[in-house]
A and B are shown apart, each in its own frame.
Chain A
Amino acid sequence: MPRYESDVCIIGSGITAAMLALKLSELRPNLSITVVEAGKRLFDTENRMAYRQRSIDYAENAWPGDFIEDQAAQGVISRTMAVGGSALHWGGTCNRFSEEDLRLKSMFGLYTDWPLAWAELEKFYCEAERRLGVSGEPSPFVEDRRSEPYPMAAMAMTHNLIELKKWADQSGIPFQTTPQAKNTEPYDGRAKCIRCNTCAICPTGARYSPDYTFRRLLQRKNFALHDQTLVRKLVIDDGKSTVAAAEAVNYQKPDETVEYRAPVFALTSGYCWSPHLLLLSRSPRFPNGLANSSGLVGRYMCGHAFQSAMIEIDAKIYPGMNEQHGLISRQFFRVKDREKFVRHDLRVWESATGHEPRMRGADGRILLGDGLLADWRQRAQRGTARVRGYYDVHPDRDSSLTLDASAKNRFGDPLPKIEHRLDAATQARRDFTREHFQQLFQNLAKTGNGKVLNTGAGNYLDHPAGGCRMGSDPASSVCDSFGQTHDHENLFVAGSPTLPNAGCTNGTLTFVALTLRSAERLAARFAQG
């Protein structure tokens, strides 16, 4: 059986793994680190422009080969499984949470508090922004004050965004541009954005992607990346509670077990595959899986809900100038009336909705050539704003990831099944929340002589997290605020699974900030030099 030994074994290779490995390698240059990833490495940056074009022309996968067909989960939001993870094709949005997200219990009597202070997290937000290369402008709200400026100036607003901001500001709600991990100048060896409008496949590297970090790490002698290798089980030392090894299988040699040994293991496989591996690692000594004495592995799966509207307004919008860049208001991050708790961000993007070419006119007759163009032009006189609010919802204990015995991969391992459930307090707020958004969308529309074209509510939770929530009490949490599991002192969980709740805006920056903090605790276990 092939056996690999290192000082730290990191399982999973998304943005969390990249940041953890990078910071560890800086804090402890002599540390040997092995990253194990089930998917492939897709490092052919020279082909990305071509992949982008095939995606535009043929709707082909811009990241060919970025999945494993039989490694599928019910209830996930992305099938991507490759070195870089979901952050290969993320939009680069880097919003911060706010203090309220960490203090729901103490401020509002709801759900739970995080076991760390806002000021502590804020430090690591700054570091995360430096490492990812975030371009942004400060929030106008004093509660959002920063201890460091953004590392790069905000991306300039396009003509469309200027028009949308004029409209949105008239509503009395202050908006700013959304901070993004996109270069507005050459940064960290990567190019300046050239506005390709396809951030899901950035052909230049202007939008941060973890594969750039991994390629840099691979230049180090004591760093190894084992891709196409699925970790199937963590094994505990005989008579102890520490993790001794990770048992894996390489897809090229599926009949052979590969063993990884290390004094420290870090699980960085995201909200789905991290709790899944812990549950899979059950044994006679640990019949409920590892790190699970609380019974909370795979519990409190979280995310945020959303309400959307398309609002037609009097503005000259040219669809396609930069659909990936938008506005955010953080006004509703704060709640003045505890009895009417609804917290959300508010986002605005350019859109072509309502103004796209169509084949049948209003009378239902088929339009060809000139007729189609004339119909399109007539409808394109006004602009459309895409508006969305991600709102704060809190998970129930039974919001779960479980092993689905009816769905197995080629090795016979049961696959994960995620079923989100909201707690009673969140459910009780449902009608009020919906009314709040309907009123908000109508008010926004009124300001621009606008018309709400349609509204919608998501039927899933976006930016999912949870499954190994952090806490001070081992009875009600899986790990501490550094991700160190209560049950196994050499096993860490990093990033998204550790979040007790998913806030009301994109989570990636928070996952990274928490990971960078974990890296310091993890490094402290090893002597310097």
Chain B
Amino acid sequence: MRALAVVVLPAELGAAGVDQTAEAFVRWVRGYRAGAEMDHGYGVTRLRAKGSSPAPGYLRQLAELRAALLSADMDSKRQVVTAALEQARINDLPRTPDGRHIAADLMAFYFRSSDANDLCYRAAIGRDLCRGLDGSEQAPAPLKGRA
């Protein structure tokens, strides 16, 4: 999982940041609740439930990538992951991990997150945090250590 994370996550996270994100994704998979009710708020009238756990599919996909991820150089690793995503016909970043491919889902897990939003804008926006109203009229502070 860490080897895959190095390929699909930005190097700007640093080695520790990449590892932490990979670990958080594993926790996310463990916390997944098959059959849980999904959002059906205002304007969304179809009742839906979460599908089965993506974990078995992820393990199979990781096993398929394992050899390349552990031995090849970075360019080759990228080619292998890209080929896997093409084969899985992933055309866009999933809104939320959807179980089609572990590489796409790890990317969605990170790049759709509040942390990634901060990294993109190099600012402590904290989209998904409860931040208080005070000071919100100012532009968010620059990310610490990432000016």
Question: Which residues of A does B touch, CB under 8 Å?
Answer: 54-62, 64-65, 67, 69, 72, 76-80, 86, 89-91, 155-159, 162, 184, 192-198, 200, 203-204, 316, 318-322, 356-360, 366, 368-370, 372-373, 376-377, 380, 462
The reply to whether the CB of B116 lies closer than 8 angstroms to some CB of chain A is yes
The answer to whether B40 and A61 have CB atoms under 8 Å apart is yes
Cα separation A59 to B50 with both chains bound (whole Å): 9
Task: Give the chain A neighbours of B45 by CB distance below 8 A.
Answer: 72, 76-79
What residue in chain B is nearest A162 (Cβ atoms)? B137
What's the interface size class on B, roughly?
Answer: 35 or more
Nearest CB of chain A from residue B34's CB, rounded to whole Å: 11
Cα separation A197 to B8 with both chains bound (whole Å): 28
Nearest CB of chain A from residue B37's CB, rounded to whole Å: 4
Cα separation A203 to B31 with both chains bound (whole Å): 21
Nearest CB of chain A from residue B138's CB, rounded to whole Å: 6
7 A-B residue pairs with CB within 8 Å = A60-B38, A80-B42, A184-B133, A197-B127, A203-B130, A357-B111, A377-B120
Cα separation A67 to B137 with both chains bound (whole Å): 38
The answer to whether B132 and A316 have CB atoms under 8 Å apart is no
Task: Give the chain B neighbours of A192 by CB distance below 8 A.
Answer: 133
The answer to whether B85 and A61 have CB atoms under 8 Å apart is no
From B42, B91, B96, give the contact of A58 (CB < 8 A).
Answer: B96
Task: Give the chain B neighbours of A200 by CB distance below 8 A.
Answer: 41-42
What residue in chain B is nearest A53 (Cβ atoms)? B128
Contacts A156-B136, A366-B82 hold; do A376 and B120 have CB atoms under 8 A apart?
Answer: yes
What residue in chain A is nearest B27 (Cβ atoms)? A57
The answer to whether B130 and A369 have CB atoms under 8 Å apart is no
From B78, B128, B137, give the contact of A156 (CB < 8 A).
Answer: B137
Interface of B is mostly: loop
Cα separation A89 to B40 with both chains bound (whole Å): 10
What residue in chain B is nearest A91 (Cβ atoms)? B42
What is the number of contacts between chain A and chain B, taking CB atoms within 8 Å?
A: 163
Cα separation A366 to B80 with both chains bound (whole Å): 12
What residue in chain A is nearest B32 (Cβ atoms)? A58
The reply to whether the CB of B73 lies closer than 8 angstroms to some CB of chain A is no
Contacts A69-B47, A156-B133, A195-B130 hold; do A368 and B8 have CB atoms under 8 A apart?
Answer: yes
What residue in chain B is nearest A86 (Cβ atoms)? B42
Question: Which residues of B does A touch, CB under 8 Å?
Answer: 7-12, 28, 31-33, 36-45, 47, 50, 78, 81-82, 85-86, 90-93, 95-96, 104, 107, 111-112, 114, 116-117, 119-121, 123, 125-133, 136-140
From A57, A62, A90, A380, give the contact of B121 (CB < 8 A).
Answer: A380
The answer to whether A359 and B107 have CB atoms under 8 Å apart is yes
What residue in chain B is nearest A357 (Cβ atoms)? B111
Task: Give the chain B neighbours of A77 by CB distance below 8 A.
Answer: 42-43, 45
Cα separation A368 to B41 with both chains bound (whole Å): 33
What residue in chain B is nearest A316 (Cβ atoms)? B139
The answer to whether B140 and A159 have CB atoms under 8 Å apart is yes
Cα separation A282 to B120 with both chains bound (whole Å): 61
Task: Give the chain A neighbours of B31 by CB distance below 8 A.
Answer: 57-58
Nearest CB of chain B from residue A304's CB, rounded to whole Å: 14
The answer to whether A318 and B125 have CB atoms under 8 Å apart is yes
What residue in chain B is nearest A193 (Cβ atoms)? B133
Contacts A56-B128, A357-B93 hold; do A195 and B36 have CB atoms under 8 A apart?
Answer: no
Contacts A156-B137, A321-B136, A372-B111 hold; do A359 and B10 have CB atoms under 8 A apart?
Answer: no
Contacts A58-B50, A360-B91, A373-B119 hold; do A89 and B130 have CB atoms under 8 A apart?
Answer: no
What residue in chain B is nearest A55 (Cβ atoms)? B39
